[in-house]
Structure 1
């Protein structure tokens, strides 16, 4: 088990580099992954089944115990990212399948990578997980609705197909995972150590299929335009997510403190790009180019998320900001330490007396 965990940690650490190398390899040797084009839904189902295996009733109870932050964070995600996608398509004059792909990845729920980035930045991981669960459960309903509203000007949106495919690859696997966890309980914990590896391999397979299916079209002018669009989409998500959470702090300071602001920033800015690629390949099969923005997003948001989480930790350490501070006040870590020492001294005096 220790070797499996060590390998999982190594894979997580180098996942972004591995994604880039794997994508380049599939560009030059597309036969490696073309066989999996019909199985991307199953690959993603494995990822979400693994997510379901890690969930307990406490995870769902958490949504009910802090509903305001979870619901507000989820609504912010489904408002900000789709609208930013539409705006970027208009600014860069994207059209056809590429525009559909940008909007589709914008309509997806938050990505599981956001949990890791929130943890690394000392954010509220519990809130991050709760928003991720709720946004994922809403995805089968929100994606068709938003796509019909925002993308129908570019192509005919197969609403029914999007809904059925999303239910098939999202709700069923998660529900099955939760049921298995409830039935087998402690036995499941023995296999959860390998779930990150399984999930990341499945995501690599999906990326390989997208690159292999679109190889000749990836580096033409129209496709390359998706790269700056995806980068701006992600960065705008971070900026607007953080700005929104700062605004909510003024409205409800008890719930939207510094750690929660970090969680919402990552939950808004990071997308489940694997779901976007899978839905593009299944519901827009005649236009595989629609899956390209999701693939670019998958690579980029892991890079940007890692950079942002590292910067946040260094920034907080440099300015002595306590992870549990109200609004990121400088020097709050030193004040918390002094308060802790005062309580400790008081306790010792009481004992000695």
Structure 2
């Protein structure tokens, strides 16, 4: 098979549109649980959320860049890792945080804040960190990945559904509550469907190349989970907040990553396989970790708390 940097995964315009719409539906479901009061509460008690945003958009991209610099993977794989780290947290982390006896309210708030922040920070991080790594920078300069184009795409996929969902919640709260109950489970199925649908269309490439990125994704995801937890520990957050920040940092919106790969990089092999395999693996690792923590009740007083 051709070298992974030369592979282009095939995805039709109709399938790409379906991916965009599906991710928009997922974000709409998340937004049905959000109100303006959630953001006001964040303004009154901003510290945990600010720490979480820093872990997602500052710490994880920096850790990813160091990992890429040390391991020196193929250029398209390196850029795929940077892209995943630049994406906001995935909304399935809300369910995992609840299951892990974390701070679910903080998880939902971080999902909302990260979604809004991603409109600017995802293209910014992709351009900044990708540009610092010369092999990846050569890919960025070869395609039109302008900040404005990525900004528009992320706004359409994440920002618009967020506003619509919050509007429904404000105008018809009972209807929003009814919809959100069944959309929580549906969102997990839709997310898994996004990844599987994208990869099924290129199954032979997945089988041929997943072994190339298998260990890299495992290491990358483990570092993301550990970095989120340790950052919360170092900043003296209680145990349930630490669990939530670990999951928020380690569960990335790889569905958005796949859409950006197909929109801007013509399905570049290494990037697509990294984003696709991350989308499969982080469900396994996140659920496994959440069930492990579920078996270990949160102490009433955090070890570093007075």
Range of TM-score over shorter length? 0.7 to 0.9
2:31 is the alignment partner of 1:52:
yes
Worse-superposed segment, 206-215 or 48-57: 206-215
Give the alignment partner of residue 299 of structure 1, picking from 271, 280, 291.
Answer: 280
User: Structure 1 length normalisation: TM-score?
Assistant: 0.75
Please name the residue that 1:14 is paired with.
none
2:211 is the alignment partner of 1:224:
yes
2:48 is the alignment partner of 1:69:
yes
Please name the residue that 2:230 is paired with.
243
Give the alignment partner of residue 193 of structure 2, picking from 205, 218, 221.
Answer: 205
Please name the residue that 2:67 is paired with.
88
Is the Cα–Cα contact under 8 Å of residues 65 and 82 in structure 2 kept in the other structure? yes
What is the deviation of 1:219?
3.1
What is the deviation of 1:77?
1.4
What is the deviation of 1:209?
3.4
SS at match of 1:151: helix
Is the Cα–Cα contact under 8 Å of residues 98 and 290 in structure 1 kept in the other structure? yes
Please give the residue correspondences for 1:80-119 in structure 2 after superposition, counting only pairs within 5 Å: 80-119=59-98
Bigger radius of gyration among the two: 1
Is the Cα–Cα contact under 8 Å of residues 214 and 288 in structure 1 kept in the other structure? no
User: Structure 2 length normalisation: TM-score?
Assistant: 0.85
> Partners in 2 of 1:33 and 1:303 — Cα distance?
29
Question: Which segments of structure 1 move beyond 4 Å, counting only runs of 4 or more?
Answer: 30-35
Give the alignment partner of residue 270 of structure 1, picking from 251, 263, 273.
Answer: 251
List per-residue Cα deviations over 1:128-157 (Å, max 9, x = no partner): 221221111100100111111111332124
Please name the residue that 1:283 is paired with.
264
Is the Cα–Cα contact under 8 Å of residues 280 and 288 in structure 1 kept in the other structure? no
2:163 is the alignment partner of 1:184:
no
Is the Cα–Cα contact under 8 Å of residues 24 and 157 in structure 2 kept in the other structure? yes
> Partners in 2 of 1:313 and 1:204 — Cα distance?
23
Please name the residue that 1:234 is paired with.
221
SS at match of 1:42: helix
Is the Cα–Cα contact under 8 Å of residues 51 and 232 in structure 2 kept in the other structure? no
Please name the residue that 1:334 is paired with.
none
List per-residue Cα deviations over 1:90-117 (Å, max 9, x = no partner): 3332233322221111111111122222
* Change in CA separation of 1:217 and 1:171 when aligned onto 2, cut-off 3 Å: same
